[in-house]
């Protein structure tokens, strides 16, 4: 796509990315900055700043700090955050907002409304904890979050960005609507994450690379490997990641250490370069309980040509097809997960074949270049439809409206 300069008052139009944490933006959404620049926009990122502002600035955006506790839904705290954010948007003369994930939408949408900004992108990166909880309280809370997004905060020029084809339906939207864009997650770079040679078997080495949360099904992976080993299969599990202290569903370090004390289970902690994981593992495992957009960890594993075992939930099943790139099992079913791992442990050819298919899958709309082009086109539509809406609201002289 060629660079199309979108301007307001003779200067490049300004888009503000609103996201809870600087590390989250730096790890997942730098391609969005490139898409904004490709579309001729001036990007800035409004977020809670910790250690990753330099990475974002190096990618081409100014960073503006906005302190907010993402663990709290206290109404007074939310009102304060909305008010401060609206002030920043007005001061910066922002032309459009791009709100990433549900909490940022709930804060950024009313702030945009207060600041008089009609161009809005709501990037729904999964439902998180709300969607993962399937009890009555969880479904009520989920509906209570989605309702204001669709009914109160959606402007005529709001565009929705999703990471799988299931989530638009949950918002009452048609995936084919022109104001809906579906992308293959955050995208990965196949030139950086190359296909890695498959290590020998046995044992079958399985890695789970993620924030270590109950919603990711880490306990299910441990239980499945424990069951498979009890039946005599040499399957070994490596947990890579750290608990998220700001998330109420984080697994405690004490429990992780207890699991790691078991034979066949290792907790490696945070890994800076996932290539160091996949060079000596055969299978990526993510037994998610739901709430995913499209997990970046699965994209990275696929790009490195690793077979994937995951669950039949939105996002995970958008990338992985059962029997092709890996295996899909029901959520919350450790026994089914164990059986899938046992089958792979007995079929080295299938592991290699699925890994190669996973690598090919990345070239079907899941690469970083694919995401940049799709989002740049979305930005062009966002500004084009807004201009049309403004023009159509004015009286036309000497012509009739079509």
3-state SS string over 333-349? CHHHHHHHHHHHHCCHH
Q: Quick check: helix, strand or coil at residue 41?
A: coil
Pairing of strands 62-65, 283-286: unpaired
* Pick among 2.10.10.90, 3.40.190.10, 3.40.50.300, 3.40.50.2000: CATH of 7-187+367-392: 3.40.50.2000
What DSSP assignment string belongs to 45-103? EEEE-SS-HHHHHHTT-EEEE----TT---HHHHHHHHHHHHHHHHHHT-SEEEEESHH
The confidence score (pLDDT) of residue 127 equals 55
The confidence score (pLDDT) of residue 74 equals 59
Q: Are 240 and 208 in contact (CB under 8 A)?
A: yes
Which residues, listed in sequence order, are joined to residue 285 by a DSSP beta bridge?
A: 309
The confidence score (pLDDT) of residue 138 equals 47
CA nearest 118: which of 153, 143, 150? 153
Convert the pLDDT of each residue in 92-150 to its tens digit: 999 999 999 988 998 999 999 999 999 999 999 875 444 444 555 445 445 545 555 55
Q: Are 344 and 206 in contact (CB under 8 A)?
A: no
The encoded tokens of residue 278 equal 């996949």
CA nearest 88: which of 122, 111, 55, 106? 111
The encoded tokens of residue 44 equal 């800035």
E strand map for 92-247 = 96-100, 119-124, 158-162, 180-182, 204-209, 235-240
Which residues, listed in sequence order, are joined to residue 402 by a DSSP beta bridge?
A: none
Segments of the chain with pLDDT less than 50: 1-2, 128-133, 137-138, 140-141, 144, 386-402
- DSSP character for 367? B
Q: Are 338 and 225 in contact (CB under 8 A)?
A: yes
Alpha helix segments (H runs only) across 231-291: 253-260, 275-278
Name the CATH superfamily, with its identifier, for domain 204-362: Glycogen Phosphorylase B; (3.40.50.2000)
| Cα gap 99→45, rounded to integer Å | 10
CA dihedral 256→258→260→265, nearest 10 degrees, is -100
Q: Which run of H or E residues covers position 10?
A: none
Q: Are 277 and 207 in contact (CB under 8 A)?
A: yes
Residue 273: partners with Cβ closer than 8 Å, 6 or more residues away? none
Convert the pLDDT of each residue in 287-304 to its tens digit: 999 989 999 999 999 999
The encoded tokens of residue 39 equal 């579309």
- Pinpoint the residues of the chain covered by CATH 3.40.50.2000: 7-187+367-392, 204-362
Would you tell me how many other CB atoms lie within 10 Å of the CB of residue 105?
Answer: 26
């Amino acid at each position: 796509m060629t660079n199309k300069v979108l301007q307001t008052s003779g200067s490049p139009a300004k888009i503000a990315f609103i996201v809870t944490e600087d590390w989250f933006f730096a790890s997942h959404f730098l391609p969005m900055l490139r898409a904004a620049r490709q579309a001729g926009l001036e990007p800035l990122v409004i977020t809670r700043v910790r250690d990753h502002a330099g990475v974002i600035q190096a990618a081409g955006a100014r960073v503006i700090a906005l302190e907010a506790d993402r663990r709290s839904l206290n109404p007074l705290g939310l009102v304060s955050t909305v008010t401060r954010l609206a002030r920043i948007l007005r001061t910066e003369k922002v032309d459009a907002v791009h709100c990433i994930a549900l909490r940022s939408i709930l804060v950024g949408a009313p702030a945009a409304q207060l600041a008089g900004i009609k161009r809005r992108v709501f990037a729904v990166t999964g439902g998180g904890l709300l969607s993962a909880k399937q009890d009555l309280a969880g479904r009520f809370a989920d509906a209570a979050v989605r309702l204001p997004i669709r009914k109160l905060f959606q402007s005529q020029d709001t565009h929705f960005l999703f990471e799988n084809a299931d989530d638009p339906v949950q918002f009452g939207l048609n995936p084919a609507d022109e104001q809906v864009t579906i992308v293959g997650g955050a995208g990965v770079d196949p030139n950086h994450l190359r296909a890695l040679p498959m290590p020998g078997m046995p044992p079958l080495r399985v890695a789970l690379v993620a924030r270590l949360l109950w919603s990711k099904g880490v306990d299910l992976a441990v239980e499945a490997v424990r069951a498979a080993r009890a039946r005599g299969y040499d399957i070994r599990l490596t947990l890579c990641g750290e608990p998220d202290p700001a998330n109420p569903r984080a697994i405690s370090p004490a429990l992780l250490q207890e699991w790691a004390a078991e034979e066949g289970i290792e907790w490696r902690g945070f890994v800076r370069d996932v290539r160091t994981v996949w060079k000596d593992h055969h299978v990526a495992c993510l037994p998610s309980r739901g709430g995913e957009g499209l997990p970046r960890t699965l994209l990275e594993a696929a790009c490195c040509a690793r077979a994937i075992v995951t669950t039949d939930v939105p996002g995970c099943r958008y990338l992985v097809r059962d029997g092709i790139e890996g295996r899909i099992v029901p959520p919350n079913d450790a026994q089914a997960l164990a059986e899938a791992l046992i089958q792979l442990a007995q079929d080295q050819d299938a592991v290699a074949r699925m890994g190669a298919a996973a690598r090919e899958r990345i070239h079907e709309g899941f690469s970083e270049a694919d995401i940049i082009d799709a989002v740049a086109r979305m930005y062009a539509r966002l500004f084009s439809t807004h201009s049309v809406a403004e023009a159509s609201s004015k009286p036309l002289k000497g012509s009739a409206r079509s």
